[in-house]
Structure 1
């Protein structure tokens, strides 16, 4: 349970649904209410597909390039720390930022909103890191997949709530939530990174 909570909080913090909500509202501004709700559902599904794909295929990509799991855990922890430090400043990480596309709002739900604004390089790296940090005997990164599903569900719920309570998503709420989640990310990133260093150099007890 503790491993799942840590994985879930990591992905939830880095996808940052509170900050994503006003971006989503701007993208779907020209759509009818039914279209906005459908877009929120599609956004959640797209984010889950991206993160789940990273969790499932990330290990094989690392093996293809000859990168050890412990080394990637250390590097992934560093990325999470850097994202968290930027978020502590009260603004979304630049790793997750991209210019909005002038295309149809429904197209922008997938690019750039789902990727890279929400499930950007930082979130993808986190999903891969979690998949190698918490392996399963079933040869599936179960914890990472459940965390990805939970994060996508929270994103969908947040976007759905934002559509009916747009005034609640104020700049002040965004800044407070971003700083808090940034602190959580820094702590989790340090823990994952230190575990990677310990195992890479064989410093574990026993």
Structure 2
């Protein structure tokens, strides 16, 4: 599998647009189609910005904290494995609501775009991918994967009215659990590569 395809697969599994769709529909249930599409574009844009910045600045952030690439790759792989196991167990996506009334647009930004979609797991995945690549070309590949993932998220959210019928049925459960399995496999690979890199480096 090419680096780009692997990065896209990892990001789609961790951001899980299908799993996030019911929350998006809940937030925008009183919105018309045009407004819903605008919110879809807003959420996708925020997700792209957060993950692209993480891809560009992730390596320098690790250097600032004195964290080696193999160590972060192993830690990131472990986090991804744990998130994948949670998805395999069918744990529902939860959003905490405060008593303070907030607008739909605020809810799209927080908590939907961040931390639900572009959360710690997604940010860890992006930084792990750039740490693994170790080159500017690799970083640009990860940014391209982030852009493609954000575009897919946009399409899924924009088609929420028709896709919602599928998500509410067994199809949504199957997709979430399949993505969980993919995450476990990807995370395990990152973990093993990180441990191997750490011992060879020392």
Does TM, scored on the shorter chain, surpass 0.5?
yes
Distance between the aligned counterparts of 1:98 and 1:56, measured in 2?
Answer: 29
Q: 1:63 to 1:189 in 2, by over 3 A?
A: same
Name 2:8's counterpart in structure 1.
8
> After the TM superposition, which parts of structure 1 deviate over 6 Å for at least 4 consecutive aligned residues?
none
Name 1:124's counterpart in structure 2.
123
Distance between the aligned counterparts of 2:116 and 2:192, measured in 1?
Answer: 28
1:92 Cα deviation from its structure 2 partner? 4.6
* Length-normalised TM-score, structure 2: 0.92
Q: 2:27·2:104 contact (CA, 8 Å) conserved in 1?
A: yes
Alignment of 1:31-180 (within 5 A): 31-92=31-92, 97-100=94-97, 102-138=101-137, 141-180=139-178
* Length-normalised TM-score, structure 1: 0.90
1:192 Cα deviation from its structure 2 partner? 1.0
- Structure 2 gaps, min length 5: none
Distance between the aligned counterparts of 2:58 and 2:117, measured in 1?
Answer: 18
SS in structure 1 at match of 2:31: coil
1:143 Cα deviation from its structure 2 partner? 1.9
Q: More relative contact order in 1 or in 2 (CA 8 Å, sep 6+)?
A: 2
Aligned pair count reads: 200
- Structure 1 gaps, min length 5: none
1:91-144 deviations in Å (ceiling 9; x for gaps): 357xxx541354100111111000011111111111111111123345x61121
Higher helix share: 2
